[in-house]
A and B are shown apart, each in its own frame.
Chain A
Amino acid sequence: MIWQAFWAVVRRDLLLAWRRKSEGLSAVFFFVVVAALFPLGIGPELNVLRNIAPGVLWVGALLSSMLALQRLFEADYRDGTLEQMALSPVAMPLLIGAKMLAHWLVSGLPLVLLAPVLGLQFDLSGDALVTLTLALLVGTPILSLVGGVGAALTLGVRGGGVLLSLLVLPLFVPVLVFGAGAVEAQVSGLGVQAHLSILMAMLLPAVFFGPLASAFALRIALE
Chain B
Amino acid sequence: MNILRANFLFHYAGPQAFYGLAGRLWPWCAALAAVFGLWGLWLGFMVAPADAQQGEGYRIIFVHVPASWMSMVIYMAMAFWSVLGLTFNTRLSGMMTRALAPTGAMFAFLSLWTGALWGKPMWGAWWVWDARLTSELILFFLYLGYIALTSAIDDQRRGDRAGALIAIVGAINVPIIYFSVKWWNTLHQGASVSLTKSPSMAQVMLWGMLLMALCFWLYTIALVLYRVRTTILHRESHTAWVRAIAQEAA
Contacts and interface: CB of A to CB of B under 8 A. Distances in A.
Interface in B160-197: 161-162, 165-166, 169-170, 173, 176-177, 179-181, 183-184, 187
Given A159-B152, A173-B138, A217-B165, A167 B187 contact: no
Contacts of B169: 149, 171, 213
A167 B165 contact: no
B50 interface: no
A216 B168 CA distance: 13
A149 B157 CA distance: 18
Contact of A177 (B161, B165, B173, B180): B180
Contact of A213 (B148, B149, B165, B183): B165
A154 B149 contact: yes
Q: Chain B interface mostly helix, strand, loop or mixed?
A: helix
B145 interface: yes
B177 A220 contact: no
Given A157-B149, A163-B149, A220-B158, A170 B177 contact: yes
B170 A170 contact: yes
Interface residues of B, number: 27
B31 interface: no
B153 interface: yes
A223 B181 contact: no
A114 interface: no
A178 interface: yes
A157 B165 contact: no
B166 A153 contact: yes
B182 to A, nearest CB: 10
Interface in A100-147: none
A44 interface: no
Given A166-B144, A184-B187, A217-B165, A173 B149 contact: no
A166 B145 contact: yes
Which of A163, A170, A202 has the most chain B CB within a 10 Å cutoff?
A170
A221 interface: yes
B165 A153 contact: yes
Nearest to B179: A174
A169 interface: yes
A181 B155 CA distance: 42
A154 B165 CA distance: 12
A167 B149 contact: yes
A158 interface: yes
Contacts of A181: 183-184, 187
Contacts of A167: 145, 149, 166
A171 B166 CA distance: 11
A105 B153 CA distance: 31
Contacts of A159: 148, 152
B112 interface: no
Nearest to A219: B161
27 contacts: A149-B165, A149-B169, A153-B162, A158-B152, A159-B148, A166-B141, A166-B144, A167-B149, A169-B141, A170-B138, A170-B141, A170-B145, A173-B138, A173-B180, A174-B177, A174-B179, A174-B180, A177-B181, A177-B183, A181-B184, A181-B187, A184-B187, A213-B169, A217-B162, A217-B165, A220-B161, A221-B158
Interface of A: 149-150, 153-154, 157-159, 163, 166-167, 169-171, 173-174, 177-178, 181, 184-185, 202, 213, 216-217, 220-221, 223
Interface of B: 138, 141-142, 144-145, 148-149, 152-153, 155, 157-158, 161-162, 165-166, 169-170, 173, 176-177, 179-181, 183-184, 187
Given A163-B152, A174-B179, A177-B184, 17 more contacts: A149-B169, A153-B149, A154-B149, A158-B152, A166-B148, A167-B166, A170-B141, A170-B142, A170-B173, A177-B181, A181-B184, A181-B187, A202-B176, A220-B161, A220-B162, A221-B162, A223-B157
